[in-house]
Amino acid sequence: MNKKHKRLLYKIIISALFFLTALLIPATGYKEFALFLLPYFIIGGNVLWKAVKNIFQGQVFNESLLMSIATIGAFSIGEYPEGVAVMLFYQVGELFEKLAVERSRKSISSLMDIRPDYANIESEGNLIQVSPFDVKVGDIIVVKAGEKIPLDGVIDSGSSSLNTSSLTGEALPRDVAIGDTVLSGCVNINKPLKIMVTHLFSESTVSKILELVENSEAKKAKAENFITVFARYYTPVVVILAFLVAFIPPLLFGGELSEWINRSLIFLVISCPCALVISVPLSFFGGIGGASKCGILVKGGNFLETLSKADTVVFDKTGTLTKGVFRVSGIFPQNIESDKLLELAALAESYSDHPISISLKKEYNRPIDNSRISETEEISGYGVIASVDGKSVLVGNDKLMISNNITFTSQKNIGTTIHVAADGIYLGYIVISDEIKADSFSAIKMLKEIGIKKTVMLTGDNREVSEYTAKELGIDEFYSGLLPVQKVEKVEELLNDKSRSSLIFVGDGMNDAPVLTRADIGIAMGGLGTDAAIEAADIVLMDDNPYKIVTAIQISKKTLKIVKQNIVFAIGIKILVMVLGTFGIATMWEAVFADVGVSVIAIINALRALKVK
């Protein structure tokens, strides 16, 4: 509880004590008026001042004015206890509201703890603390055990474990060593690291995340905008209605003017829209906060609302449903041993940094003897030609074999086929494939269980691989051999389907930016440190776990359910008590408890959005 909230709590306690004293002391006339006026000004002085200040600023109709009119009116007809009680319970409701907002903000602002205060730079054998803004690309920084990594970089020396929970929501630490990329905001757990900086602080992961979180409130959902407009027109309408309740019935039907004024004051008290005005935005804020705890960054309440209506999910394949890491899945030699075939391929590819070359060298897993290799030529879109042990070795695809008149049999495998030939003789082929993520299976299954009608996969990979992946995962439709522009065209086709509600596109955030921006909701997978992910997507998953798509949709559905509950509950109760008060059935005390009670219940219900199982 901050200082402002504590001050309000002290005011409530002091005012309540004076109020109880006034109730217990027998008094009449001016003495009674003075006894109740003291607690009234203690608890309601700031509300009266706010109402007056708003009038001079042109903001006439607001809840402060409603409370001021209702309580001053109660005093004017001699209902002193009711006047104090209305203001007292109104402030109790305000305290609950402020505490709820603070709690919701804390869940999101806990991300702000990832902001680094300093960076360590080594100078003449000593560590000097400098501002992260002063560190340049290429500088070496030192991160001691227990410290936050201040900037994105690559480990220059040392090995350790990192706590990435503030970014990904995952509890398990990540082991890192020389050459590994590390991101700002993670915490170094056990050993010191020297890191070469690769991004300025303004371009680092932590800066982008903080900017994203700080701007998330600006993008309101339709339900939030509705409540804002509703409150703007609702308040003057209820003031006019209260005026009519006070003066029209006595003129037309007779009766005590004071009785009708009392009814109009009851009408004003219960009409306060605070339950709606705070609980709806708080629900969306809570949903965003609950998602952030799971490593899901939502850029605004409007995206949560759209996400809750989704019935179609379109996936990129590589890096989203699959690991995006190629590995050797099969070796098929002809007139040569398997390990010799792999050795030739690895040696020929030793100078290449292509993902396929890397996977061959990783599978070979032995030191490369460069003295055995000469005259290496890498032909883009074909493969590699190299001299290995004096032999002319060709390693590549069908096109490389055809262009060199090598006789071979074209293969249809679930993966990329790499052919190997030496001195014009075909020696066999190696299959390299991209592994499906374990969580992809449960994600697709669960998406269908929570109401997603159609799942689609778009990929640039060949048909055989695409068909296999789609069949394995149970995806409804797939489209293969697509360029990025063709992915956009395919999403446009799906968007034109009038039978659907909302379409999600999920990509790895690298070359999927055009599609991410075109879909109703763009979700970037494993968006850590990628500009395209954070800028183009509406929602960023801070790791590459596809099951978090399910979590995000569940959070959005729960948030919208809470919003609807609060709107129906608050409006329903208020209309009921307004009618009862107008006909003299509900008293001022009942109106006070109904108003504050509705607000408190709506706020507590809104806070449920923060809790994510």
Round the CA-based radius of gyration of the chain to a whole number and report it. 34
Is-contact 327 359, C-beta < 8 A?
yes
Does the annotation count 316 as an active-site position?
yes
- 3-state class (DSSP) for residue 565: helix
Say which of 113, 134, 316, 369 is annotated catalytic: 316
Distance CA 97, CA 100 (A): 5
Distance CA 317, CA 553 (A): 20
Distance CA 298, CA 221 (A): 12
- Residue identified by tokens 């970014």 is 167
Q: What angle, 0 to 180 degrees and rounded to 10, lies between the N-to-C axes of helices 547-582 and 438-449? A: 30
Distance CA 260, CA 254 (A): 10
Nearest Cα neighbor of 269 from 94, 73, 13, 41 is 73
Nearest Cα neighbor of 314 from 136, 507, 127 is 507
Nearest Cα neighbor of 149 from 100, 105, 78, 198 is 198
Burial 400-427 (b: 16+ CB within 10 A, else e): bbeeeebebeeeebbbbbbbbbbeeebb
CA end-to-end distance (rounded Å), the chain: 26
Residues that are catalytic: 316
